[in-house]
Structure 1
Amino acid sequence: MKRFEGYGVLITGAARGIGAATARRLADEGARVLLTDIDGPAAEAAAADIPGAEALVCDVGDLAQVDAAVAHAVERFGGLDVLVNNAFASAPDTDIAEDDIDTLWRRDLDITLMGAVRCARAALPHLAATGGRGAIVNIGSVNAEADFGNHAYSAAKAGLASLTRTLAGDAAARGVRVNQINPGTIRTGNWDGREDLLDALADQLYPLGRIGEPDDIAAAVAFLASRDASWITGTVLRVDGGLLAVNKGFAAINRDG
């Protein structure tokens, strides 16, 4: 039997990249998946390539749309077993002294952090009704742990890690696990036209010698969402090719010097 046979799954920001790869992976393992995204046509296109998947427009900044998306998943799937909070906003990196806090910071925090809060709030009663298999997996970033720029986005992802820990404690009594994945650089459409930069990053920063792929993160989500991780909650899992564990530049200087 496949690990997610009979499961209902909702993924935010699922039209492309990590979200779409996660939808494919969980569907391949038996889940029925609702791909939600603010870009409706792109979500529809992604869902069309995944047997049994559905798509729905959802802006995680809008509580009514979040509630409607969760209700839709519950109605279509007969319940909701897994929530994957993948939607985010990331403003262009700027000098913090020149940031327009009321636009750049507010949007990054509202979508990346508060969007996950809205989704968890709506989903928790249904996840708790699954007999112990309910799970939330938040998609964070190595930006939550070290300086890679993008002040507002990084702060939002760090807040998401804190939310993961506190929500794990609250949800445990209801039989729901909450975990987070912090990816390193992942080859998505955001990097189109900058492949040379990706190659340079892989060579200079990543001990495993390559940039991550969306499927790398999807595999980690599948593990944390499954009963294989039934005794794991409140954990932030780095899936970063060794980026934060090894200072590759320093190691090279130390070795050659």
Structure 2
Amino acid sequence: MQRFENKVAFVTGAAHGIGRATVLRLAAEGALVGAADIDAEGTAAVVAEAGSSVVALNCDITSTASVEAAVAATVERFGRLDVLANVAGHNLALEGTDEQWGRQYDFTFVGATRCIEASLPHLLESRGSVVLVGSISGEVALGTAPYAAAKAALANLVRNLATDHGPKGVRFNVVAPATVATDRFIGKEALLEELKAIYPLGRVGTGEDVAAAIAFLASDDASWITGITLPVEGGLTTGPGHVLNLL
């Protein structure tokens, strides 16, 4: 499929995990991609794999100036912007002090708004699409309250933005992954094996699983879908029956 031929995407968190998989998926479907991350070595590796359709960009989503510069560089390089995929995010494993709550919220929620604000003028021109990466932790109680609360805020954000900008042709959606086997599980392979048992589909997710959902929501295949949160979670939240059967 070439759903993104002649389209341009800006992807944050592009060096690893879901972000890397998203860059490669969009590029494989014809997109020109600005791959943004603070890890220059990681983004260079993505470019080496994807080829000339991808440009590596240094970007710190906690800095408005950095985000604006990276979006501007993407538009300058490729001439337009059709898709924002904000994947950058991290569970800071915080205990809940004022400073810790603020750091998590700034990184997860305000970082997303920085990317949206920088991209929106271009997306209004192209009648484009925004996909934010939330978490299933933002939908159900799975612990780590600061992270979960910041991710949950993204769902309300896109509902409001979808309402505001739908008449102008711009769509906003969230994907909410559960356990995904990314770099943060290196050295914790035994834990991933244990976690498989709680998923009805019998496995944890991959970056490619989430990237496929992002690509769908960003594409014209989802042209009548906006303001939603799409769980990508292997059946984890279908109900307690499966987990109870394991006990």
- The answer to whether the superposition gives a TM-score over 0.5 is yes
Q: CA deviation digits over 1:12-64, x for unaligned, max 9?
A: 11110000000000000000111101222211222221122111111111111
Change (3 A) 1:105 1:89: farther
Distance 2:10 2:55 in 1: 10
Give 1:239's match in structure 2, choosing from 229, 232, 235. 232
Alignment of 1:1-257 (within 5 A): 2-51=2-51, 52-94=53-95, 99-102=96-99, 104-130=100-126, 132=127, 134-203=128-197, 205-247=198-240, 248-252=242-246
SS in structure 1 at match of 2:161? helix
* AA aligned opposite 1:86: V
User: How many positions carry a matched residue from both structures?
Assistant: 245
Q: Is the 8 A contact 1:88 1:108 kept in 2?
A: no
Q: 2-side partners of 1:174 and 1:76: how far apart? A: 25
Deviation at 1:100, TM superposition (A): 2.8
Runs (5+) with no aligned partner, structure 2 = none
The TM-score with structure 1 as length reference comes to 0.92
Separation in 1, partners of 2:66, 2:203: 38
Runs in 1 of length 4+ with deviation above 3 angstroms? none
Asked if the contact 2:93–2:147 (Cα under 8 Å) also holds between the matched residues in 1, the reply is no
Q: CA deviation at 1:252?
A: 4.9
> Residue 173 of structure 1: SS of its match in structure 2?
helix
Distance 1:89 1:240 in 2: 18
TM-score (norm 2): 0.96
